[in-house]
């Protein structure tokens, strides 16, 4: 029996687990105003908004405490630059942010620089302090299952709260194939609080449904809460609202 037998069930879960995101190069304060208004839907709030560090204070001032404010560090390039990343994290923390999405230096990992990548993640974790840390592994570029698994292991070893698939800025973002590898590593880790975030290219509730089913199979139904599961998306909310309004929804575009 599927955990989410109807699209309406999936839409409700996806809404509660959604990081409503605006990370466009040209974002303005007006865009963030609109984003924060959008985050408070007639069907309930999203889990968080995700913005550039410079907009954290604005977002925090516009949102109730129940909606968390996330921001990105070392984004989207994932350079192996500890000093820059720590500065980004410090700015997020000082502005009242709750969560940090940091990019693992995935190109360095592909070149075999495992120890520098591990050290980078440890520094990011230390800089975050009590803030929630999501580590973006850019699985669509890593591609190889062994590399995706290794990146996930490094993130968890450093104390990441979530492992996130993608920045959404590369040709391939989240895929069910990569998600399976990540979720299996989370399940094998023995860390009961380890979370997963699918990000990039998830535009419909049908897409979201597939990830929810996969996570429920590998982590259990109890993992489908904002503390352990997130979607990073800007387009998904429109389809969530359409489904919850009883309207037709887009078909799934998720692929293995």
Each residue's pLDDT tens digit, 193-244: 999 999 999 999 999 999 999 999 999 999 999 999 999 988 999 999 999 9
The pTM of this model reads 0.95
Which residues are registered as beta bridge partners of 162? 134, 195
Closest by CA position to 242, among listed 205, 214, 207, 212: 205
pLDDT greater than 90 at residue 183: yes
Report how far residue 194's alpha carbon sits from residue 155's, in angstroms, rounded to the nearest whole number. Answer: 10
Under DSSP, the state recorded for 199 is: E
Report how far residue 206's alpha carbon sits from residue 75's, in angstroms, rounded to the nearest whole number. Answer: 28
Classify 207 as helix, strand or coil. Answer: helix
pLDDT-derived band at 175, boundaries 50, 70, 90: very high
Which residues are registered as beta bridge partners of 212? none
Digit-coded pLDDT (tens) for 85-111: 999 999 999 999 999 999 999 999 999
For the chain, give percent helix, strand, coil, nearest 5: 45, 15, 35
> Interior CA angle at 123 toward 118 and 126, to 5°?
125
Q: Which residues belong to the active site?
A: 101, 164, 197
């Amino acid at each position: 029996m599927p955990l989410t037998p109807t699209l309406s069930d999936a839409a409700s879960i996806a809404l509660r687990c959604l990081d409503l995101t605006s990370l466009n190069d040209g974002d303005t304060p007006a865009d963030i105003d609109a984003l924060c208004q959008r985050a408070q839907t007639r069907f309930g709030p999203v889990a968080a908004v995700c913005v550039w560090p410079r907009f954290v204070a604005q977002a925090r001032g516009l949102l109730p405490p129940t909606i968390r404010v996330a921001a990105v560090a070392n984004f989207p390039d994932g350079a192996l630059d500890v000093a820059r990343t720590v500065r980004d994290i410090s700015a997020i923390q000082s502005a009242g942010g709750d969560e940090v999405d940091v990019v693992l230096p995935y190109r360095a990992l592909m070149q075999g620089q495992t120890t520098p990548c591990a050290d980078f993640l440890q520094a990011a974790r230390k800089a975050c302090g009590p803030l929630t840390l999501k580590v973006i592994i850019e699985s669509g570029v890593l591609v190889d299952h062994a590399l995706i698994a290794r990146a996930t292991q490094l993130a968890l070893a450093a104390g990441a709260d979530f492992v996130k698939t993608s920045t959404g800025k590369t040709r391939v973002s989240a895929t069910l194939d990569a998600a399976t590898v990540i979720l299996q590593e989370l399940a094998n880790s023995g860390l009961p609080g380890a979370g997963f975030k699918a990000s990039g290219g998830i535009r419909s509730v049908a897409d979201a449904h597939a990830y929810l089913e996969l996570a429920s199979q590998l982590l259990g139904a109890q993992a489908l809460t904002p503390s352990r599961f997130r979607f990073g998306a800007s387009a998904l909310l429109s389809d969530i609202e359409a489904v919850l309004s009883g309207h037709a929804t887009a078909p799934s575009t998720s692929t293995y």
